[in-house]
Structure 1
């Protein structure tokens, strides 16, 4: 742990914010990688997709992937709890990212000037002491490690997960372009997946 006692109040405040955002970036990147592992994406696909999905939506996708994977009941419960544990950390991230903050004289830590402007309007101060910030860093590190372990488990279960997501089955344009002959509709009819109506108006009796 850094020796914050050597720093003045202002530098302590900014150092703590920097450390928080560093640990958050590590955690969010771990979530992005888990998302890519779950959906069997290559690195660039994962990068593009994750850049356009909100953090909470990433967690929802991972929750669904965990449910569909071949984990046993206790594993599934544990991984769902891991995902749920990220929500209060995300709340802290939003405090850091969206509210004015600064040092207050005589307080070793960070003071946030938060606001609520929906049904009621309130302006409040929220103070994080150095020790509280350090505890948050530890939680962020533990969460990143837990998500990394989830990634490894999803990768271990990849074959079963792929079958559940049907990732190995061509679909859409990929399927049509790979067909040697006939349209996608005729192939769908031929597969029996699309019921044909014997009384279709275009049918003729011969």
Structure 2
């Protein structure tokens, strides 16, 4: 259950209200995913506050994903974790394709299912009208997928923090080797 978003509760709504609720919920959860991608970018770039906001605000979602994938491959030393984050980023890209349908396509309460009918149009060399009709279950599955990806990407902060501690332990700020690692950690933490 996501914020009371259950099939049982959705079925109590009239079909038009349900359609707008489902589309709004999808868009809201996707916005949280995009914020998670923004935070992951900031974490890998080691920037915060205004610089992070400026970077994230001025990049389309696809470019954020490409940049995040590249940075993770370069700066996450544990290759298993890097591969896991890369997979999450690729799945986020797929979610953005679904988001584009939801955000840019007219819709109404479905006449066939308990969900939403989208009036999609494709004109990529030939004109097509794809049949896109998402039931409540389909929306809830998409939202669950978005949440899982978002939660996975947000673990990047813990990975980078552990790498920073390991890097600090390896530094020796002109101290004897026997204690340099611990003093390196202390100096690193004091520096920022």
TM-score of the superposition, structure 1-length normalised? 0.73
Identify the residue that residue 157 of structure 1 maps to in structure 2.
163
Give the number of the structure with larger relative contact order, counting CA–CA contacts within 8 Å between residues 6 or more apart: 1
More helix by share: 2
Matched residue, 2:109: 103
Where does the alignment leave 5 or more consecutive residues of structure 2 unmatched? 168-192
Residues 49/70 of structure 1: CA separation in 2 closer, same or farther (3 Å cut): closer
**Structure 1 residue 151, shift from structure 2 partner:** 2.8
Aligned length: 161
Gap runs ≥5 in structure 1: 162-206
Residue 71 of structure 1 deviates from its aligned partner by 2.1
Matched, 1:142 2:148: yes
Match of 1:122 in 2: 128
Deviations 1:154-195 (A, max 9, x none): 34324789xxxxxxxxxxxxxxxxxxxxxxxxxxxxxxxxxx
User: 1: CA distance between counterparts of 2:42 and 2:68?
Assistant: 10
Q: Kindly indicate whether the alpha-carbon contact (under 8 Å) linking 2:110 and 2:117 is maintained by their aligned counterparts in 1.
A: yes
Give the superposed CA RMSD. Answer: 1.8
| Residues in 2 aligned to 1:28 and 1:52: alpha-carbon distance in whole angstroms | 13
Matched ranges for 1:64-103 at <5 A: 64-103=70-109
Could you tell me the TM-score, scaled by structure 2's length? Answer: 0.78
- Partner in structure 1 of residue 119 of structure 2: 113
Provide the C-alpha distance between the structure 1 equivalents of 2:161 and 2:97, rounded to a whole number of angstroms.
29
Tell me which residue corresponds to 1:38.
44
Q: What is the aligned partner in structure 2 of residue 61 from structure 1?
A: 67
- Of residues 26, 34, 40 in structure 2, which corresponds to 1:20? 26
